[in-house]
Amino acid sequence: MNLFASRSRRLGLIPLLLLLIGALPLFAAEPVDHAMVTRIRQEGLRRSQVMETLTALTEEVGPRLTGSPGYIAATAWAEERFRGWGFERVYQEEIPFGEGWSFSRTSVHALAPFAAPLHALPLAWSVGTDGPVRGPAIRGRLASEADFEALRGKLRGKVLFIDPEPEEVRGPAAPRDPAEERPYRRYDEKGLADLETYRISGWGFGGDWATRARKRWDFSEARNRFLVEEGALATVEKSTRPHGILYVVGGGGGGVPGRSRGVPGLVMAEAPYGRVTRALDAGREVEIEIDVAATFHPDRAPVGNVFAEIPGTDRREEIVMAGAHLDSWHAGTGATDNGAGVAIVMEAARILEAIGVKPRRTIRFALWAAEEQGLLGSRAYAKAHLASRPAPADPEEAALPDQLWRETWPLQLKPGHAKHSVYFNLDTGSGRIRGISAMDNVAAAEIFRAWLAPFADLGATAVSLRGGAGTDHASFDGVGVPAFGFIQDGLEYMSRTWHSDLDTLERASREDLMQAATVMASFLYHAAMRDEPFPRKPLPEAPAKAN
């Protein structure tokens, strides 16, 4: 062995080691203020008000269909609650919206050949019956304009029980969704590990969703006009949920001025729907009585998004945001969709205000309007503050609501685009946070792993690079602002409560809500205190034209 050469090689490593040590800050882990995390945990887990907030929203305000008296009351309630916690900057921004709607009574009965109450509720924006009405039931398909001819001349004075589409058919031989057999769901270790496995396919809604939405829009209008012209008494659809659960969303003209309101439309539970249609299939005449009291509110108060802020210090012009949609459907009280998200966002705000944080960036809390009608509240915010798109060249398409437009280019950035640092959204029920979707942003994923570490004992560990764009963070991500949705335990959200009459306070989990608000508060604080801007993906670009 050449000892001199060996010693020289060892000495030659010293400059390299010094170089690597000097470079360490470039690879340093994302800083976490553990002392502040402790304060946030103490306030969020020992002095929580999240369940009291959710109780007040669902029990005192109730359902919050966009534009309804309930929604208007909810915005006033939220503003008052924020101010009661000491927030000085609380305000609304109005969004364009059509008529409000509410209902106060629904009664559906079979009178012959059997007498029985039939569990049903009206679709939102459906006209009422102006007192009890009676008529024979008839069964038929009504999935496209091609079905009109088979029904023409047969509907006057009758209640049309609409045949479900094949994918909705259930029966003894039909396979059940596994979610129905496991109605209460929490992630296990395997499920959390699967979240961190990236899937190349499966992004977005698949295909040209705008074209499909336009077809549904056009067919809805044609169907409503056809039913009115044919003199149908009412329509009844079968709920797509089993076990007596009513899955109820919108119908009529959706509150849009100039659209046909159609005839009274209802959703009926699986069992009574089946009893009526089996009797019809057996050749028996079934007499139905319906009484729906519904009210339209064309002269309602303005519909608005609600905001509250904790002002920043040296970077006060930059904004960190968290949001949840305040509106709900009308069958339940909107406890899990999305009262839970609202309560979590408001509780995160209360936690940070209560412990007196002085963030570098302004923290803005948003309660969105009209998410259920197409992310209208968050889309309006993005259009006003972040970026807009040119109107379609086709005048017919340009006349449609802009959520039905195909994407147009170029993206026109607003001055506020660069000032919005990051947005966090919560809209999947009352389950605890188990992680976050990093929306294909690798740099963000590394930051999130550091921020989640202090909450591993509370079950929040997963960082998934997969995206998910079915709620309000899509309005931000779609214009290039970093935006992310938290991953939650499902509990009964998809199996029982989502858009259903079971979406009430009984389905909310206090401890899960407490955990989620605490995690969100910590994320907001750390995002507001970063030295560097939050990492961004490249701006969206127009798709390449096919040759």
Q: Quickly state the pLDDT bin for 272 (edges 50, 70, 90).
A: very high
Q: Say whether pLDDT at 191 is over 60.
A: yes
Q: Are residues 41 and 154 in the same domain?
A: no
Q: Is residue 60 located within the same domain as residue 121?
A: no
Residue 107 sits at φ, ψ, to 5 deg, of -140, 125
As a whole-number percent, the residues of the chain with pLDDT over 70 amount to 90
Work out the pLDDT band at 401, boundaries 50, 70, 90.
confident
The per-residue pLDDT for range 339-353, each reduced to its tens digit, is: 999 999 999 999 999
Task: Among 273, 297, 321, identify where a domain stops.
Answer: 297
pLDDT tens by residue, 471-522:
999 999 999 999 999 999 989 988 899 999 999 999 999 999 999 999 999 9
Residue 175 pLDDT class (50, 70, 90 cuts): very low
Q: Please state, in angstroms and rounded to a whole number, the distance separating the CA atoms of residues 66 and 53.
A: 20
Lowest average pLDDT, out of 213-217, 343-347, 433-437, 535-539, goes to 213-217
Let me know whether 286 and 306 are in one domain. Answer: no
Q: For the residues 280-294, what does the mean pLDDT come to?
A: 98
Among the residues of 96-185, which ranges form H helices?
148-151, 178-181
* The predicted structure's pLDDT at residue 110: 99
What are the residues whose beta carbons fall under 8 Å from the beta carbon of 287, sequence distance 6 or more? Answer: 110, 111, 112, 134, 135, 136, 137
**Backbone phi, psi, residue 288, to 5°:** -120, 140
The mean per-residue pLDDT over the stretch 248-267 comes to: 94
On whether residue 3 sits in a domain, the answer given is no
Which pLDDT score, from 0 to 100, does residue 3 have? Answer: 38
Q: Is the pLDDT of residue 227 over 90?
A: yes
Same domain, 82 and 141: no
Token digits of residue 491: 């509990």
Domain membership flag for residue 219: yes
pLDDT of the residue at 478: 94
Say if residue 314 is in the same domain as residue 410.
yes
Say yes or no to pLDDT of 98 above 70: yes
* pLDDT of the residue at 8: 41
pLDDT band at 177 (very low <50, low <70, confident <90, very high): low
- 8 within a domain of the structure (yes/no): no
The answer to whether residues 136 and 172 belong to one domain is yes
In a shared domain, residues 431 and 289: no
Starting from the edge strand earliest in sequence, which strands make up the sheet with 462-464, in order?
A: 89-94, 304-310, 361-368, 315-325, 420-425, 483-488, 433-437, 462-464
Say which CATH number the domain at 482 has.
3.40.630.10
| SS3 letters across 348-402 | HHHHHHHCCCCCCEEEEEEEECCCCCCCHHHHHHHHHHCEECCCCCCHHHHCCCH
73 and 117 fall within a common domain: no
Whether 226 is covered by a domain: the verdict is yes
Which CATH number is 131's domain given? Answer: 3.50.30.30
Give residue 475's pLDDT: 96
In a domain, 462, yes or no: yes
**178 and 319 co-located in one domain:** no
Q: Tell me, what amino acid is at 469?
A: A
Q: What does the alpha-carbon distance between residue 39 and residue 271 come to, in Å, rounded to a whole number?
A: 52
Of the given ranges (34-43, 180-189, 461-470), which has the lowest mean pLDDT?
A: 180-189
Question: What's the rounded mean pLDDT across residues 187-193?
Answer: 90
Which residues lie across from 156 on neighbouring strands?
A: 232
Six-digit token pair at 23? 């470079």
Give me the pLDDT at residue 183, please.
Answer: 79
- 275, 297, 319 - which closes a domain: 297
Longest Cα–Cα distance of the chain, Å, equals: 107
Whose CA is closest to 381, among 369, 392, 372, 391? 369
Q: What is the mean pLDDT of residues 281-295?
A: 98
4 domain residue, yes or no: no
C-alpha to C-alpha distance for 111 and 500, rounded to whole angstroms: 27
Q: What is the pLDDT of residue 5?
A: 39
- HSE-up of residue 479 (Cα within 13 Å, Cβ side): 28
List pLDDT tens digits, range 105-141: 999 999 999 999 999 999 999 999 999 999 999 999 9
**What is the C-alpha to C-alpha distance for residues 10 and 496, in angstroms, rounded to an integer?**
67
Is 284 a member of any domain? yes
The whole-number pLDDT of residue 182 equals 66
Helices and strands in the chain, H and E counts? 15, 18
Strand segments (E) across 57-182: 89-94, 100-112, 116-117, 120-122, 133-140, 159-162
Q: Quick one: 285 and 316 in the same domain?
A: no
Say if strands 304-310 and 462-464 run parallel, antiparallel, or are unpaired.
Answer: unpaired
Tokens 């005449």 correspond to 285
- Same domain flag for 87 and 165: no
In a domain, 192, yes or no: no
* Domain count within the chain: 2
What is the reported pLDDT for 432? Answer: 97
Is the domain of 55 the same as that of 119? no
Mean pLDDT (whole number) for 170-186: 57
Give this prediction's pTM: 0.91
Task: Output phi, psi for 328, to 5 deg.
Answer: -145, 175
Taking only the tens place, the pLDDT of each residue in 25-36 is 444 689 999 999
Tell me which of 297, 312, 345 is where a domain ends: 297
* Res. 378: pLDDT tops 60: yes
Residue 2: the pLDDT is 46
Non-local CB neighbours of 138 within 8 Å, separated by 6+ positions: 154, 155, 158, 159, 160, 161, 280
Q: Which two tokens stand for residue 9?
A: 């090689």
User: What domain range is 473 assigned to?
Assistant: 34-96+300-529
Which region among 133-142, 199-208, 264-273, 437-446 has the lowest average model confidence (pLDDT)? 199-208
| pLDDT over 90 (residue 165) | no
Q: pLDDT tens, 431-460?
A: 999 999 999 999 999 999 999 999 999 999
Residue 506 in tokens: 């009984």
What's the whole-number mean pLDDT along residues 63-70? 98
Q: What is the pLDDT of residue 67?
A: 97
CA atoms within 13 A on the CB side of 112: 6
